[in-house]
Every structure is written in structure tokens, then in C-alpha cells.
Amino acid sequence: MPVVTARSVTRREGTALPTTRPAAQRRRLGTELRELRERADLRIDDAAAELRCSTSKISRLENGKTPPQERDVRDLVRFYGGSIEVGERLQEMARSGQDNGWWGDEFKDVFTDRLVAEQLKEYVQLEEYASAITSYTADVVPGLLQTESYITALTELLFSNHDAELRKRFVEFRLRRQRILHRDDAPRLRFLISEGTLRQPVGGSDVATQQLDAISKRIVENDPSCVVRIVPLIAVSPALYGGSFSVIVFDDPADQDTVLVEGRNAPTYLKSDADVERYGQSFAEIEKVSLDAGASLDAIEEARAILRQI
């Protein structure tokens, strides 16, 4: 299997390209505002003084790190000496960059209470607009493949100190993510799951077994847009010792292909071409030592037998 990169991804016939995501629009807008400022021979301090704001706000705006306000964009373009046409175009980009997505509208309460880390919020944004996602998991079942009972059990385990209603909202949030699987322009997915993950009795034997059934169903369906394979315990590869990671790639060249590396406390996001290429190669190496469809189903059946003894 060749290494997957953003520009090598081809979409399935009859599907539409995903809309450029707000984060990409914000980066484009920020770049153009910075270029306008520099051509006008002005400093960030000058722009901050004009808007009566902090220099950090201007810096975040130019780096695409904050949702832009149309009024700020209009005033900056005017201050930099940009034309009316440029101002109108950049204000339209500002409107496009303000979209909070379903995660910010439907589940604002979940993020406000900090049950969902900002890092996960960023991942959901990436996931929503991705062309392809390749993922290796060494601890839990990938989020897009988790059953409701498995999600509920994980939530009870990890967030037992939170209010029950908020935990319920978190489960709803995780299930809402999975709608991406049913979109016409859903990303192409490839999941490699460690065999050890299958044997973990998350939620008890019944819940864990139901989760195995869901994974088996994915393999049996043989859908090329969502491939699942198991990495056996006896597999040997240097790439297996780096922990869980995902490579998220995009059709739009304006978007940055991104690697998410799981950490004990929080994930790390890597966006350089070298990192994306390196982790893409790691995925390819792990895929080489993973089981084929039939052997993957056998590994799941063996895990099911172990869980039944618990």
C-alpha cells in the first residue's frame, strides 16, 4: 500500500469535494492582511493601535488563529490602503472563517465546561473537512468506530468526576461525530487497531463484545472507503513503538495536512511536510505487518472468546 498523502488522495466517483473549512479561510485571510500591512510599511503595533486592541489579537488574526470579525477586517483594509474590492473580498473570507461548525453550535455547553479539550475540538474540525484519515490505535477503538455503549463506558471511566448530564452530552457529541461516515463526501478511512485493544474489557464483557461485533461488521462489509485491519500482538516493526497516531489529509492545497499524536494528557499536532511524510510512512510500515481481512476476523473471534471468560 503506497504512503497516503493529501495530494495523492482521489475522491470516489460521483461525490463532491468538501467545502474549504473555516480554518483554511482564516489562514488565507490572515496571510492577505499581513501582506497588505507589510506593503503599507506598517507594524503590528500600528494595526493594534488603529483597532484599539492588543498586538496579540493582530498576530492571531494574521496567523489564522482566531475567528475574524468583518468590522475589524474592513477597518484594517482601509487603514492599509486596500481597495474597496479587496475589502469586500476579505470581508467575505471573514464571514466564511467565522463558522463554528456543528461542534460549536450544538455542543457549546460541552466545550464550555471543558469536558472536551480544545485539542479534541481541533481534531473534530480537521476530521470534518478531511479527504482521508489513516489511523493506528494501540489503546482504544478509534472514535468513529465506537459503539454507543463503548463510548458510554469510556466516558464513565474517564470522566467519573463530572456531572451525569454532562457525561450524557459528551456521549451525544461523540455519536454526532460519526455522521461523517454516512456523508456522500465522507473521507476515506483506514484504521489499524492493535490486537491488545480488542481484549480490553471496556464496560465489561458484554459491552466489549458488542464493540467487537461492530468492528467485525466493518471488515465483513469490505467497504473500500472504510478499511479496518488488526495488528497482531506478535507483529514487529519500529513504527509500532511510537504510540497511537492519525494522519489527516485534505484535497484543498490551502489546508495543511496534519498528524495527531496521542499523548498521556493531551494530543500533539504536527503540520510540517516532513512530519506528515514520516507518519505516513510509519502507517505504511504498520500496515505491512497487519493481518488481512480473514485473519483480522480470526483475531477478533479469539478476543471475543477471551472476553467471554471474564
pLDDT tens, residue by residue, 127-138: 888 899 999 999
The contacts of residue 184 (CB under 8 Å, 6+ apart) are 14, 15, 16
Confidence bin at 111 (pLDDT 50/70/90): confident
pLDDT(19) > 80: no
Give start and end residues of each alpha helix (H) in 163-243.
164-177, 195-198, 205-221
Locate the domains of the chain by residue range.
22-98, 102-308
Quote the Cα angle for 138-144-149, to 5°. Answer: 90
Q: Which CATH class is domain 102-308?
A: alpha beta
3-class SS of residue 184: coil
Lowest mean pLDDT among 49-53, 57-61, 78-82, 231-235: 57-61
pLDDT(69) > 60: yes
Residues 216, 301: Cα–Cα separation, whole Å: 9
Lowest mean pLDDT among 10-14, 36-40, 111-115: 10-14
pLDDT at 274: 96
- CATH code of the region 22-98: 1.10.260.40
pLDDT(20) > 90: no
State the SS3 of 19-54.
CCCHHHHHHHHHHHHHHHHHHCCCCHHHHHHHHCCC
Q: Contact, 207 vs 171, CB < 8 A?
A: no
